Structure formats: structure tokens, C-alpha cells
Structure 1
Amino acid sequence: MTPIQIGAFIIAGLFAGVLAGLLGIGGGTVLVPILITLGYSPIQAVATSSLSIIITSLSGSIQNWRMGYLDFKRVLLLGLPAVITAQIGVLVASALPQSLLLLAFALLLMLNIYLVGVRKKLAKQSASGELVGPPQAAMNPTAARILTGGIAGFLAGLLGIGGGVIMVPLQMLLLGETIKRSIQTSLGVIVLTAIASTFGHALQGNVVWVGGIILGLGGLIGAQLSTRLLPKLPDQVVSILFRTLLAVLIVYTLWQAWQQTAAT
């Protein structure tokens, strides 16, 4: 890897970390398009994003553990099915045409916009003491955890994301967890899904190891900087920035998918 490439990875990691801390966007949402821009194939971008997510999610989970906020039992109950389905996601990603993989990523970005709105609504209900989860006819907790972890793991392997955007609202809806508990558990599960996804992609030869480590370390630094800036920004400004960025990423990813289709 040349000094120019290393510099590009450092800048990309910092940029992704700043956006993650500032807008609450998971690293994979930003890193996959960045890696494609740097000239890597969609499958390499997905695999390398998973590697960088290990670093950032592990750092956050260690901090939660030190503060006594990490429940290992909850993490394992969600994480075990996620580890299995992550391998399925890896196999599907490796088999899909690159254009379809990019299209699936663009659809996830669109879903992101909706799910963030759902998450905010659930957070307000949780803060006001309203019942967030379903009443007595709730889904069996074991089945709910398998479903939640399974979806998150599959998406981690398929698209190189952590899966928190899916896990947080599902934990609140299906298990009646609070927003804070859901986020803390989700971050711990992401460590497992990212490791499982990276392992699966490594067996396929898709991971750019040095690049992924640089991106992860850069993301750590960038997130620390942006989390200090976030409290100073009005909520409306953050919301506009978030939706604008996702819209740009959706258009860019769809354009890349069209380019891949035209090339084949």
C-alpha cells in the first residue's frame, strides 16, 4: 500500500468517524461508498467495512462494560443467531452480481431514513413512560431475539454494516427494552456480527486488511471529535444533515450500480 493510499484511508476513516458521531450513522453506511470511491469492488468494500467496524464497536463496548452498562447475557442471546446468519449473508454477497449488491445497499440506505424516524418516536415514548413493546400478546422473547439477531447478522454479512439501525428499534418493539439498553446491547452484538462477517469474508479473500485497520482507527478518532461537537448543534440542523447525506449516498450508490451493470 502506497503512502498516498494510506493517507486516503486515514482521511476516509476520520471522515466516516466524524459523520458517525455527528449524525449517528453506522460506519458501514459511510465506509462502503467511500471504499468504492477509492477504487475497491463492492464486495471488498463490504468486507473491509466489517473489519473496521470491529475496532469501533469493540471500543464502545469496552467503555460500556467499564461503566457497568453491558449485559453479556443479552448480547449473547442476540449475538449467537447473528453469528450464524452473518455467514449466510457473506455467501449471498459473494454470489450476487456486484450491481445487485450495490442496489441492496441503496435500499438499506432508504430504509435507514425510515428506521431513524421510528427510533426517534420510540425514544420519545420510552422517555415519557409510555409502553413501547407490545402488550400481553407479545412475541415469544426467544423467538424475538432470534429474529432480531438473525436479521442484523445477515445484513452485516451481506452489506458490511453493524446492524444497529435494525436491532435498536426491534429490541424496543419486540422485547420492550428501553432506548439506552437497546443501544448498549446492540453495540455489543455488533462486535460479534462484525467478527463473524469479517471471518467469512476473509475465507473468501475479500478483506483489505491494512486498509480496514486504518479506517477503524481513523473512525475512532473522528467519532471522538464529532461527539464533542454534536451537543452544540440544533436538532433540526442535525436532522437536515442526516437526511441530506443519506440522499446523496443513495444517489451515488445507485449510480455506481448502474455503472457496474453497464460494464457487464
Structure 2
Amino acid sequence: MIIGVIVLGLAIGLLTGFAGAGGAIITVPALVYLIGLPLDQAISTSLVMGAVAPIAALAPRIRQRLVNWQVVLFVVVTGIPAAFAGTAVGKLIPQNILLLAFAALMVAAGVQMLRPRPSQPSSERPRYWVLRALLIGAFVGFLTGIFGIGGGFITVPALVLLLDIPIGIAVGTSLAVALINTLAGLIAHAGAADPNWAVAVAFTVPSMIGAFLTARLAHKVNPVLLQRSFAILVLMIAVLTAIQVILAW
């Protein structure tokens, strides 16, 4: 099992380093169906991973000044309390329903990742940008709490489309938001289900190595090809997750 976790961690770390988003949405179903963890423990374990793994992908982007800290501040202001709210709601939903909702979320993520993103955002702040940032934070934080994910697959396109932030800075900003939100989600989940620390450690170390390496090479990879390839992978996992839930019902 540990070898499988190491391979999974490396793969998701590589994805996170390149795209700055998306790895966590694969982690939860992988922990449930490949590793065999209960859903509540998979969510807690995923939050541990999400609180540590993005650091390696974030560090090079901080040095390159690819993080908009002002936007991070406004996004996490609503994201942190929303993570606690999402955790409370998640405890009330049966596991099968939660997994089906997760599959639906993956479909939505995959579809939006297939859509092209603007390559030349405006240099001016869009109207009501603070309100938009607060709304992004509330939605992404809620997803973090209920599903144990960082929400980067939503944060990145939201920052680009709603705040006119260049894609490179959006990725770095999303990583910073995910790091803070997952810490809040982890605190909110404390006592609900303890993480599997052996799995978390076996995952996080190779994930950080993979994320650090690919974050330094991300600018050399065709972002459109990477985005579409990952979208197809997410859609496939969504279908497999839904089938597993329906067969086990």
C-alpha cells in the first residue's frame, strides 16, 4: 500500500507543480478506492497533504514574485470561515451522497478546464474586484471544508476570468490560497476523523519533490495541452467514482 501511496504522491506533486491546481481533486477518490481509507479519514488525510504539498510548488513562485498577496488576503478572509462551514455541512451528508457530489464537482472542474482561458488579461482592476475576491474565497473555502480539497481547479480560472489576473500570477496566488484554506479545513476537521499519518507522510514527501521540480519547469510546458490532458483525467476519474458509488449502493 505504501508504495502505491508514494507513486500517487509523486504523480499528484508533478501535476500540482505544473498547473498549480487540480491534484487534490484526484487525491480523495484515490485514497478511498485505491488505498481503501474511509471517506472521512480520506478527507482529513487529504487536508494534511494539501497543507504541506503546495509549499514546494509555491516557493519558486514567491521568489519569482508570481503571487498577488493582496488578492490572497481578500480571498482567505471569507475562505477560512467558509471552510469551517463546509466541514459542518459535510458531517451531515451520507458518504454515498458526498461521493456522488464529489463526482459531479469533478465533472464541473473537468469541463471548465477544457475551456480556453484569456491570454492577455486587462492591466486595470475590474469593477468591484474586492467583492469578487470575497465571493471566490467563500465558495472555494466551502469546497475545502466539505470535500477536503484546496479548490485550485476553481480558484485559478476564477482569478483569471473574474479578476483579470494573468495566468502565471493566478497559479501562484491559488497555491497560497489553497495552503491557507487547507490549514483552516484541517483545524475544522480536528476530532471528526484523524488523518492516516503513515499515508500522509508517504504521500507528502514525494509530492513535494515532484511539485518543486515541475514548478521550476512549468514555463516550458504547453499550458493548454497540460490543462486539457488533466481535464480528461479528471472526467475519467469522475465517471469511475460515480460507477463505484452506484454499484456499492
- Bin of the TM-score, shorter chain as denominator length: 0.7 to 0.9
In the other structure, the counterpart of 1:182 is 170
Correspondences of 1:60-99 after superposition (within 5 Å): 60-99=57-96
In the other structure, the counterpart of 1:30 is 26
Distance 2:19 2:70 in 1: 29
Q: Give the 3-state SS of the residue equivalent to 1:68 in structure 2.
A: coil
Distance 1:243 1:180 in 2: 19
In the other structure, the counterpart of 2:187 is 199
Shift of 1:239: 5.7
In the other structure, the counterpart of 1:172 is 160
Higher deviation after alignment, 60-69 or 251-260: 60-69
Identify if the C-alpha distance between structure 1 residues 143 and 155 changes in structure 2 by more than 3 Å, giving closer, same or farther: same
Identity %: 29
Partner AA of 1:151 in structure 2: F
The answer to whether structure 1 residue 113 and structure 2 residue 110 are counterparts is: yes
Shift of 1:87: 0.8
Matching residue within 187, 197, 203 for 1:209 = 197
1:198–1:207 contact (8 Å) kept in structure 2: no
Distance 2:232 2:159 in 1: 27
In the other structure, the counterpart of 1:161 is 149
Distance 2:103 2:71 in 1: 30
Distance 1:76 1:235 in 2: 27
- Count of residue pairs the alignment pairs up: 248
Shift of 1:102: 0.7
Higher deviation after alignment, 89-98 or 62-71: 62-71
Unaligned 5+ runs, structure 1: none
String of CA shifts for 1:153-186, please: whole Å, max 9, x gaps. Answer: 1111111221122122222333232222222221
Q: Give the 3-state SS of the residue equivalent to 1:99 in structure 2.
A: helix
Partner AA of 2:41 in structure 1: Q
Distance 2:225 2:109 in 1: 18
Distance 1:237 1:71 in 2: 25
String of CA shifts for 1:172-206, please: whole Å, max 9, x gaps. Answer: 33323222222222111111101011111223124
Unaligned 5+ runs, structure 2: none
The answer to whether structure 1 residue 12 and structure 2 residue 8 are counterparts is: yes
Q: Give the 3-state SS of the residue equivalent to 1:69 in structure 2.
A: coil
Identify if the C-alpha distance between structure 1 residues 239 and 66 changes in structure 2 by more than 3 Å, giving closer, same or farther: closer
Distance 2:221 2:68 in 1: 32
Distance 1:176 1:167 in 2: 13
Distance 2:18 2:156 in 1: 18
Partner AA of 1:18 in structure 2: L
Partner AA of 1:252 in structure 2: L
Larger Rg: 1
Shift of 1:236: 7.6
In the other structure, the counterpart of 1:49 is 46
